[in-house]
Amino acid sequence: MHAAARFRQTARVTDADLLNFFKHINKFLIDLGTYEEQRLVTGARMNADHFPDLNNAVFYKFLPERSLQYYADGSFQFGSIQYYRTIEQQNSKDSMEGLCNLAIKTPKHLFGTSLVSGYNFGVFCGTSTLNRRDEMSERFGPRIIKIVDLREFAEKAKQLLKAQRFYFNQVIYDDLKIFRTNTLKSIRLSRDEPSGDFDPNLIDDRVFDLLQDKSFLPSLFMKPTRFSMRKSCDWYSKCLKTCPMFYE
């Protein structure tokens, strides 16, 4: 967790307010050197309905020539949040990988936090369309692997990795990755009401589980707009995620 705030119970917080709030927090993190400089232009209020499941999607992955033989030999690599944050290849690098901004409405307050999650996931990314084949080939490699039955592939990968489960969802392009959701749980940041000093000991297992659950989609299935190449191109829009360290 980078930052956390609770708005007053009587406060009227608009989408524009949330955009400015999280833009300032993310810019502050960049100025501190936590993340590399990135665009913080667009920000939309997303929720779980914006991330449909992709149960019958065909999956294409573009590869450079040198990587094709590894796949032909039955060897492939899953990435990680940390991998994409530090990778040297600029076409794939995202120093803010895993970051998300949550706006959680509780029965009494609106709770806002910026945090990073997803370190216990393996990542396998591709596309469900060849509409931009030439551009994607130039950027990621001319070789294409086609996975016809994505669910069967994911099931076998889960067994090999001894993972708990897997997900594949549509990826949303947004620079600020704002995710708004509701909960019946209460969230306290201070022991004194109505306000007081922030007490990290109040982030107990119950609150941690809530944050982990709500940060899943925006942390793993949202990417900055610079990755879209063009608005009609979704080279990253179908992304298989496996979870080798996720336990309930």
Most confident listed range (28-37, 136-145, 161-170): 28-37
pLDDT of amino acid 195: 66
- Tokens describing residue 43: 């920000």
**Which of 142 and 200 is assigned the larger pLDDT?**
142
Q: What distances in angstroms separate CA 238 from CA 88, 89, 223, one per listed residue?
A: 23, 20, 12
Least confident of 2-16, 21-35, 154-168, 188-202: 188-202
What is the full DSSP assignment across 95-135? TTTTEEEEEEE-SS-EEEEEEE--TT-EEEEEBS--TTHHH
The model's pTM is 0.81
pLDDT of amino acid 113: 92
**Which of 151 and 198 is assigned the larger pLDDT?**
151
pLDDT bucket at 98, cuts 50 / 70 / 90: very high
Give me the chain's average pLDDT, please.
82
pLDDT(45) > 80? no
For 146, the 3-state DSSP assignment is strand
pLDDT of amino acid 40: 84
Average pLDDT over residues 100-123: 90
